[in-house]
Amino acid sequence: MSRMTTEDVHEYINGICFKTGPPGKVGAETEWLVIDPERPTAPVAIDRLAELVEACGPPPAGSRITFEPGGQIELSSPALPGPARAHEALAVDLRHIEKTLADAGLYLAETALDPVRPPARQLRTPRYTAMERFFDGHRHASGRTMMCSTASIQVCLDNGADAADLRGRWEFLHRLGPVLVAAFADSAVWRGRPTGWKSTRWAIWAATDATRTRPVLEPGTGTDPATAWAEYALGARVMALSEISGGGGEWIADPGITLADWVDGRGPRSMTLDDLEFHLSTLFPPIRPRGWWELRMIDTVPLRWWPVPVALAAALTEDPRARATAEEATERLCRGAAPTPTLWLRSARLGPEDAEVAACARTCFDAAVEALPRMGAAALAALVDEYADHYVRRGLCPADTTVQVPEPRLAHPGGSS
């Protein structure tokens, strides 16, 4: 495969990561820490989990099951028209997995950060071995924890109908991001004690190699989304590369170059399209463009509530009236610009205790509750409203119910919606 140039990087990102078309599809990826209540301080062997997943057969609604490095189970729904369809499919598949685990005496922890177990990597693929070496080499102590001890709910939404819609969604979703961090913060306990953060998971990710985890859109960066993402990718450190393009040969962890260095010929070999695709998969900003928007800032929440962030983000993005209300509220919160690093961290540390973030969250939840019935999702509207009553309108988030409880909360069979 021929050597890539800087222009090739920009062309690929513009054509693949920022495709436009009729919006409306919704997908979700839910990650879950798995607990054995008989041995709550020990990791559950990933081989055991894989055998259980294999034995129970494929998820009936078509979700894809994968594992994260520490043994977290991830269910990824198909992209389906509207939040109601996405919820229906993933709920069926989650119940399928919950029952299988419960029959084996295992449960899904209802928190976004393992509160007691130290990080222990179980996947031994070249990718994760290189990732661990990269973080260790740069003295990012949070890297192993990020890989092995965290869990999130990722919402996937369409880019937009055209270039103007795409840019509007890009800017809006970045402004909405801190609100999502605060409203769903659920990781206040780590190493057996409260941390002082409502979303410690966010703090851990923020402390892990800023060249690949900071937001792409920041105050003062007015470039178009495709250019911004290409520049972000070019400026990020290369985590690993294989001696032979396409993954062959030995893997070199942390070759000491950025992607721009590699394109300029300072790598051990020419960079190819396979290398670019792998590099993009190792970048973890809170909003990652992949041909759709992948929202990565949301903590895993108790099983009863997992559909809420999916429904909220979809309603505020896809329904014009809800979008207009949320646009105004988030612009006010962000002073008309992109959210500052301070705002992201305030949201993670204080959650809805931050008065400005809480006010914006209440407005956004109210708008979503009104919009969801128009989207054919009345049942989700009721659940979002119930969540708002339980947490948001009281200035609370799930972390507030666990900050004094160092043991992981365990989900029970039938606990998901």
Report pLDDT digits (tens) over 274-318. Answer: 999 999 999 999 999 999 999 999 999 999 999 999 999 999 999
> Which residue in 22, 337, 370 sits closest to 174, CA to CA?
337
Q: What is the pLDDT of residue 247?
A: 67
* Percent of the chain topping pLDDT 90: 88
pLDDT higher than 60, residue 405: no
Three-state DSSP class for residue 208:
coil
Q: What is the pLDDT of residue 139?
A: 80
Give the chain's mean pLDDT: 93
Structural domain harbouring 344:
6-401
Confidence of residue 2 (pLDDT cuts 50, 70, 90): low
Decide if 355 is inside a domain. Answer: yes
pLDDT higher than 60, residue 32: yes
Number of domains the chain contains: 1
Quick: pLDDT tens for 60-89.
999 999 999 999 999 999 999 999 999 999
Decide if 417 is inside a domain. Answer: no
Interhelix angle 355-371/307-318, nearest 10 degrees: 80
Decide if 413 is inside a domain. Answer: no
Three-state DSSP class for residue 215:
coil
Decide if 207 is inside a domain. Answer: yes
Instruction: Tally the residues of the chain.
Output: 417
CATH number at residue 380: 3.30.590.20
Decide if 269 is inside a domain. Answer: yes
Quick: pLDDT tens for 126-176.
888 988 999 988 888 899 999 999 999 999 999 999 999 999 999 999 999
Confidence of residue 184 (pLDDT cuts 50, 70, 90): very high
Report the helix count and the strand count for the chain, using DSSP H and E: 16, 13
pLDDT higher than 60, residue 416: no
Decide if 265 is inside a domain. Answer: yes
Q: Are 26 and 155 in contact (CB under 8 A)?
A: yes
Cα dihedral value 246, 247, 248, 250, nearest 10: 150
What is the number of other CB atoms lying within 10 angstroms of the CB of residue 143?
23
Decide if 1 is inside a domain. Answer: no
Decide if 304 is inside a domain. Answer: yes
